Amino acid sequence: MVSAADFIRGTAADPWRWGVNDCALWSASYVAATTGRDPAAALRGTYGTAFACRQLLLRSGGLLALSRALMAGHAAGGAGDGVCVARVSGRQLAGIMSADRLFLKSDGGVVSPSVFEILEQWEI
């Protein structure tokens, strides 16, 4: 099993790519590395721009609704390491929780905002 801290450290320098390694797919990659099951396998490579991602999210009812559907096999809640959808500066983003801190994939690497609201979390 891969710890959240090890996964974050090991993938921090991986480049941001829409549909490959954006905030949601980076989080799903952590689930895959930990459980052996990729909850976003069907989405990988199906979009390549911010606009196409936005269209996918609109068709799916938003990031939170899509994340809930993809994570249906995992119990929501918990306070340990896992993945989440959080509100940061008014935006919904997918991220990884580790040691009560939120980590987000960005085009500049990985960031950890100090102010955020967890909308849904899945302990992995």
Model confidence pLDDT, tens digit, residues 49-94: 999 999 999 999 999 999 999 999 898 987 789 999 999 999 999 9
Q: 109 vs 22, 103, 119, CA distance in Å?
A: 11, 10, 23
Domain range for 59 is: 4-123
> Residues 69, 73, 76, 80: what is their CA dihedral angle, to the nearest 10 degrees?
-130
Q: In one letter, which amino acid is 48?
A: G
User: How many domains does the chain contain in total?
Assistant: 1
Indicate the pTM of the whole model: 0.94
Predicted pLDDT at 79: 78
Q: Between these two residues, 1 and 45, which has the higher pLDDT value?
A: 45
Predicted pLDDT at 78: 76
Q: Distance of alpha carbon 68 from its chain centroid, rounded?
A: 12
